[in-house]
């Protein structure tokens, strides 16, 4: 399990959401931040990212859910979309050189979530 998956699953559990559920949506705010932390799952697709008050997200991470593991698919930032992997003919295909960068950006995002204390101080937005 990656660092980002671990912290997000901890956040979901804190707010009474089972990370193994078929679908969920959680939006958190903190008074000290201009952006919200948004986490969602529909079927086998998981999205996580920050969203500002203009509803512009940066970054947004996309994962495929596979038996409890989150497989990085892509991340999107202001400067574009960075694809890490894809599914072809039912097989998950990864770009090894891109996957390394994707994992690095995810680790930085997870670190930001921890340091900004979203787990401890994030308030659910209804």
* Cα maximum dimension of the chain: 46
Do residues 76 and 57 touch, judged by C-beta distance below 8 A? yes
Dihedral sign from CA coordinates of 9, 44, 66, 84 = negative
Considering the domain boundaries, does residue 125 fall inside one? no
Q: How many CB atoms lie within 10 A of CB 63?
A: 25
* Spatial distance between the Cα atoms of 65 and 92, rounded to a whole number of angstroms: 11
The kind and range of the H/E element at 5 are helix 3-14
Considering the domain boundaries, does residue 124 fall inside one? no
List the domain range (segments joined by +) for residue 9.
3-117
Q: Provide, rounded to the nearest whole percent, the portion of the chain with pLDDT above 90.
A: 41
Tokens in use for 75?
């991340």
The pLDDT value given to residue 5: 93
* Spatial distance between the Cα atoms of 99 and 61, rounded to a whole number of angstroms: 13
Considering the domain boundaries, does residue 68 fall inside one? yes
Considering the domain boundaries, does residue 93 fall inside one? yes
Model confidence, pTM: 0.86
Read off the pLDDT band of 70 (50, 70, 90): confident
Considering the domain boundaries, does residue 7 fall inside one? yes
Which residue carries 């930032």 as its tokens?
Answer: 77
Please count the structural domains in the chain.
Answer: 1
Nearest to 63 by CA among 88, 84, 79: 84
**What residues pair up with 41 in beta bridges, in sequence order?**
24, 46
């Amino acid at each position: 399990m990656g660092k980002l998956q671990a912290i997000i699953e901890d956040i979901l559990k804190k707010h009474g959401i089972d990370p193994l559920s078929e679908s969920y949506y959680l939006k958190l705010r903190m008074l000290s931040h201009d952006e919200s932390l948004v986490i969602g799952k529909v079927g086998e697709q998981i999205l996580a990212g920050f969203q500002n008050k203009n509803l512009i997200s940066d970054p947004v991470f996309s994962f495929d859910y596979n038996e409890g593991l989150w497989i990085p698919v892509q991340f999107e930032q202001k400067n574009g979309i960075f694809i890490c992997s894809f599914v072809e003919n039912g097989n998950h295909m990864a770009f090894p050189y891109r996957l390394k960068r994707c994992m690095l950006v995810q680790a930085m995002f997870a670190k930001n979530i921890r340091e900004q204390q979203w787990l401890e101080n994030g308030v659910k937005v209804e």
